[in-house]
Each structure stands twice: as C-alpha cells, then as structure tokens.
C-alpha cells in the first residue's frame, strides 16, 4: 500500500461552501486525494477536522517520507519513550545511593540512548 506523495493541502471547489478537496503537490500540479462533499455549507468543525488530518499527514511525511504510516502508528510510542527518557535522565540526580553520581548519570544516559534507538526503529520501519 502506498500513499500519495507530496505535501498535502486543502482547496475549496468553485462552489466553495459545499466541497473540500484534499490535494498533494499543490505547488506543482495538484493531485486529488479526497473529495469531501456536503449538502450544506461546511461548519467550522468540519473544516477543522479536515485541516487536522492534512496537518497530521504532513508532519508524518516530514519524519519519514517513505513510510509516514509508520510514524503515525508510533506516535504514542514516541511520546511514552520521551516520558521515560526524561524520568531516566532525572533519576540519577534525585536518587540517593552509594554509587557516584557520574556512574548513575552514565547508566541513565545508556538506558535513555537504548530506548531512543528502539523507538526510532519503530518510526523508521518499512512495511
């Protein structure tokens, strides 16, 4: 399965109140991706939802243009990893043990590095 390449955007039809087009390669030659039709003017919420989808897709493309779906599927993993890394890195300075602080910082940095590598591998994987 592949996706439509290029940055995504939104345009309105000539009858601007009743159709939105999601397009790619807006600066070159727009390629239609989706047409959202409505039988009444679009609400602000409908336009905001369309903009959210396009913005999310563009952010994923920016991180992995070959497989933006892998990015989308790993966003929660990235967030959880960042939370864990911040705890790991803060822990050596706040935990009192007999072990020297420099050794605790080194171990924490190693653990954070390993977790970041594992998480990045999820983002960069190909399907």
Contacts 24+ apart (CB under 8 A), 12-19: 17/41, 17/42, 18/42
On whether the CB atoms of residues 20 and 36 are closer than 8 A, the answer is: yes
Q: Model confidence over 49-86: pLDDT tens digits?
A: 888 988 999 999 888 888 888 888 888 888 888 888 88
Which pLDDT band, with edges at 50, 70 and 90, does 109 fall under? Answer: confident
> Taking the model in full, what pTM does it have?
0.66
What does the domain layout of the chain look like in residue ranges? 8-63, 68-124
Q: Model confidence over 16-41: pLDDT tens digits?
A: 556 667 777 666 566 677 777 666 66
């Amino acid at each position: 399965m592949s996706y439509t390449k290029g940055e995504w955007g939104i345009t309105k039809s000539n009858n601007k109140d009743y159709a939105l087009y999601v397009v790619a390669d807006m600066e070159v030659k727009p390629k239609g991706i989706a047409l959202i039709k409505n039988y009444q003017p679009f609400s602000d919420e409908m336009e905001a939802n369309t903009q959210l989808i396009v913005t999310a897709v563009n952010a994923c493309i920016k991180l992995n243009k070959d497989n933006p779906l892998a990015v989308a599927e790993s966003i929660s993993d990235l967030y959880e990893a960042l939370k864990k890394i911040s705890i790991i890195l803060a822990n050596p300075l706040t935990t009192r043990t007999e072990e020297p602080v420099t050794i605790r910082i080194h171990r924490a940095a190693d653990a954070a590095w390993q977790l970041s590598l594992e998480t990045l591998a999820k983002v960069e994987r190909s399907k």
